[in-house]
Amino acid sequence: MSPSIALPPIRRETLPGGLRVIVAERKGIPLAAVRLVLRGGASLDPSGRSGLSHLVALAARRGTRRHTGEEIDLAIESIGAELGAGVDEDASYFGLSAPVEVLPRCLDVLAEMAGSPTFPAREVDRLRRREVAALAHDLDEPGVVADRAMLAAGYGSHPYARSAEGTVRSLGAVRRPDVAGFHQRYYRPSAAFLVVVGAVRADEVLALVRRRFAGWRAAERPLPPLPPTSAPRTAVVVVDKPDVTQSQVRIASEGFARRSPDYYPGMVASAVLGGGFTSRLMEAIRVNRGLSYGVRSRFATSAVGGLFFVSTFTKVETTAEIVQVTLDETARFCAEGPSAEELERTQSYLCGLFPLSLETHDQLAEKLADLELYGLDDSEVGEFRERVRAVTPDQCREVGRRYFPLERRVVVAVGPARAIARSLERFGPVKVIPARKMV
């Protein structure tokens, strides 16, 4: 039996305004990692304005009631800190890493960004133009185009179908009133939590947070509920990109939410199928046939659903072959399940890898933020190895039959449509779309 993983002392408290605070007292390096998380993320973007939440997160540091964007940049640089912002389908994130002695100043910055950003019109416009230019550049990245097409086809009309960064058209339509309005509606302490990890005392950190965030107030209103995701309709999507010599391929099917009891069996089953160099898909696709240098499979899990997907690439002329081999290997796995040797090897790999994801303060802060976001217990960390080791061959086979792309599935291929579309018709009705529609 693998030993449990010990977490440092953790203190949790909800402040009067609704802000949830999680403090982990971790001895060692005198650094602090801070994460401020706002629930909702890109799923809150209104129709026709995908990328809005992303722009709000970027623009929040470009000026507040007390400081200009330049002053905030200078303050961050002067204390040796790093400040980042990001958005995914379920949340907006702000992160700071700094020496522990400047933690009060870090909390000042985060409190201002959360509670009193001014969103100067010039800064919003500059950021919008910069991000639109970056999106246009994504057209030159077939892998990015394939991922976007997979989300769109896999999630259909669900908000998860939209890329968090938006598109050239949707983000180009955003203006300052959209940004300020989004912040006013969704940035409130009752929908947020703060994680602090480092060589700190929880009592002192909580006292600092109470003072720094006391002025952050907003009207109480619940976030709009998200409907659960549903299985995609069987389809083949060819994203026409005539200038490439390799096809990017994605094969996706319905997955599950992060809180699902299938999480650990799914993790192990996916790793056996396509999680490393000794996986079945790597053996079949790279070692035996030389169709690609790489292939992987994984479950992407979120608050209300998820996708299982296989990601790979190959020469244009072998696009249909790599799809067929992937589906054949997947079907074989669902019929047989993993061997005892495969299961043991995969479990050992996952158990050995997991502690490496907790080594730094930043990594632990990210893990604790995920637990809070999805309503999970600390035992998800402490008992990770035991839960992975408890997965059986029958559970792997069953989770494969339930979620792997045997029937209702989406096949996405980015490449020259004239060369690949007809060969993919055996996998379902083919829809050809221009690559520019994905950015």
In contact, 115 and 60? CB cutoff 8 Å:
no
Identify the residue whose tokens are 């408890």.
Answer: 390
Q: What is the model's pLDDT at position 5?
A: 87
Q: What is the model's pLDDT at position 2?
A: 62
Beta-strand pair 31-39/91-99: antiparallel
* Dihedral angle computed from the Cα positions of residues 332, 335, 336 and 342, in that order, rounded to the nearest 10 degrees: 60
Q: Helix crossing, 340-353 with 393-403: angle to 10°?
A: 80
Cα gap 275→269, rounded to integer Å:
9
Q: What is the model's pLDDT at position 130?
A: 98
CATH class of 235-438: alpha beta
Cα gap 46→56, rounded to integer Å:
13
Query: 3-state SS of the chain: helix, strand, coil percent to 5?
Result: 50, 20, 30
Cα gap 399→369, rounded to integer Å:
27
**Each residue of 92-104: b (16+ CB within 10 Å) or e?**
bbbbbbbbbebbe
**Each residue of 312-332: b (16+ CB within 10 Å) or e?**
bbbeeebbbebbebbbebbee
Is residue 82 within a helix (H) or strand (E), and if so which, with residue range? strand 82-87
What lies within 8 Å, CB to CB, of 407 at 6+ separation is 234
Q: What is the model's pLDDT at position 250?
A: 99
Q: What is the pLDDT of residues 42-64, one digit of tens each?
A: 999 999 999 999 999 999 999 99
Which regions in the chain score pLDDT beneath 50? none
- CATH 3.30.830.10 positions along the chain are 10-212, 235-438
Q: Which of 183, 181, 210 is nearest to 40 (CA)?
A: 183
Helix (H, G, I), strand (E, B) or coil at 115: helix
Q: What is the model's pLDDT at position 4?
A: 78
pTM, rounded to two decimals: 0.94
Q: Which one of 3.30.830.10, 3.30.1330.40, 3.90.1150.10, 1.10.220.110 gives the CATH number of domain 10-212?
A: 3.30.830.10
Q: What is the model's pLDDT at position 367?
A: 98
Helix (H, G, I), strand (E, B) or coil at 324: helix
**Each residue of 340-361: b (16+ CB within 10 Å) or e?**
eebbebbbebbbeebeeebebb
Q: What is the model's pLDDT at position 220?
A: 81
In contact, 178 and 52? CB cutoff 8 Å:
yes
